[in-house]
Structure 1
Amino acid sequence: MSLKNSTTTADYIDFDRASNVASKLLKEPKTVLIGKYIIIAMNTGLRCSDILALTCEQLKQPSVTITEGKTEKKKTFAVNDAIRAIVPADATGGLFITQKGGIISIQHLNRLLKDAFAKESKTLNISSHSLRKSFGRRVFFNNGESEKALVYLSDLFNHSSIAVTRKYLGIRQDELNDIYLNL
């Protein structure tokens, strides 16, 4: 579903599709960095800048508390098995260090994501923010598409209301599209 020309610019990627792409990318040394990014992004719902600042030491803990760059609010998230599996036991320091020794830029990361999701990029606006939305959509569907899920997501995303979260996830538009498609 494309949300181009609406107030949100990034489209979500199907969670299972993103998982499959990440698994393939993790197997190749040249693409392992983007594979790790996908796994962490779709399992935490964090913004790109917050993910890039994470360290191996943090992700070896049962939970991580960060101060979000955009909102400057504290956020705590549990480190699940999918994330734990991609952090080598002996690894230290930043996870997203390039060959030149710096942290990968968001612009370069977005180019890598467009390449990784080339099929989707033909019709969708894919960016680092897409995986945050994928996380949100997964939480929403796993919790029965309930208002309760939207309340949780609104809190997780630091949105001002569940109406903002609903619009952010493109839920209302999906429902309207279903009406037309099921006539």
Structure 2
Amino acid sequence: MNFVQPIRDPDKIEAVKHYLKSRSDRNYLLFVLGINTGLRVSDILTIKVGDVKGTHLRIREGKTKKQKMIRITPTLKREIKGYIEDKDDHEYIFKSRIGDNKPIGRSMTYKILRDAADAYNLVDIGTHTMRKTFGYHFYQKYKDVALLQELFNHSSPDITLRYIGVNQDVMDKALSKFRI
């Protein structure tokens, strides 16, 4: 398994959003929902239209089996609203074009993200990039590792900081100034 990084540069995030939006509303919303909720891609792909009609998204995480409730921000709500208006509650939001009401898979999600990453020369990008991007920017804004640890269901703050790449940033900064 490759080690993936968050997208740290807000301009690159906007560029990826623009790129995806110009190609597919589904793929754009997949990325936007991923970077705004911090959910694992396996949980994102199970979301149905009816799941996002309220103020909160309620899911049972596939990995931890824990019940999770995530507030849908007004900005994210606007993005979702236009996309789901002609869809039924039982439909998967990120429906595959193949088959009848089946979600896209992880491999297709990876291809979607890799395509956008290649367009902007982003490296170390994969399906966990969306979750890590959420975590990285959440931490940069609030500096609350305990809350982020709780959101991610991690066992320690150190795991959370390592996961989102903050430890790497600290090491890079320290080494860039190091000289013997």
TM-score, scaled to structure 2: 0.85
SS in 2 for 1:9: coil
1:70 has 2:63 as partner? yes
- 1:74-85, aligned counterparts within 5 Å? 74-85=67-78
Equivalent residue number for residue 141 of structure 2: 142
Cα distance in structure 1, aligned partners of 2:121 and 2:43 = 25
Q: Is the 8 A contact 1:36 1:86 kept in 2?
A: yes
In structure 2, what residue type is equivalent to 1:111? K
Q: Is the 8 A contact 1:15 1:42 kept in 2?
A: no
Stretches of structure 2 that go unaligned for 5 or more consecutive residues are: none
Moved more, 132-141 or 11-20: 11-20
Q: Is the 8 A contact 1:12 1:130 kept in 2?
A: yes
Instruction: Measure how far apart 1:23 and its partner are.
Output: 3.3
Equivalent residue number for residue 91 of structure 1: 87
Q: Is the 8 A contact 1:34 1:112 kept in 2?
A: yes
Q: How many residues align?
A: 169
SS in 1 for 2:79: coil
Equivalent residue number for residue 9 of structure 1: 3
Distance of aligned partners of 1:74 and 1:51 in 2 relative to their CA distance in 1, 3 Å threshold: same
Q: Is the 8 A contact 2:94 2:103 kept in 1?
A: yes
Distance of aligned partners of 1:10 and 1:57 in 2 relative to their CA distance in 1, 3 Å threshold: same
Equivalent residue number for residue 163 of structure 1: 158
Cα distance in structure 2, aligned partners of 1:27 and 1:159 = 35
- 1:14-163, aligned counterparts within 5 Å? 14=8, 16=10, 17-28=12-23, 31-87=24-80, 88=82, 89-92=85-88, 93-101=91-99, 102-118=102-118, 119-121=120-122, 124-143=123-142, 146=143, 149-163=144-158
SS in 2 for 1:132: helix
SS in 1 for 2:75: helix
Instruction: Measure how far apart 1:128 and its partner are.
Output: 1.1
- CA deviations on 1:90-124 (whole Å, 9 max, x unpaired) are 32221111221331110111011111111344xx2
Cα distance in structure 1, aligned partners of 2:86 and 2:77 = 12
Stretches of structure 1 that go unaligned for 5 or more consecutive residues are: none
TM-score, scaled to structure 1: 0.84
Distance of aligned partners of 1:153 and 1:14 in 2 relative to their CA distance in 1, 3 Å threshold: same
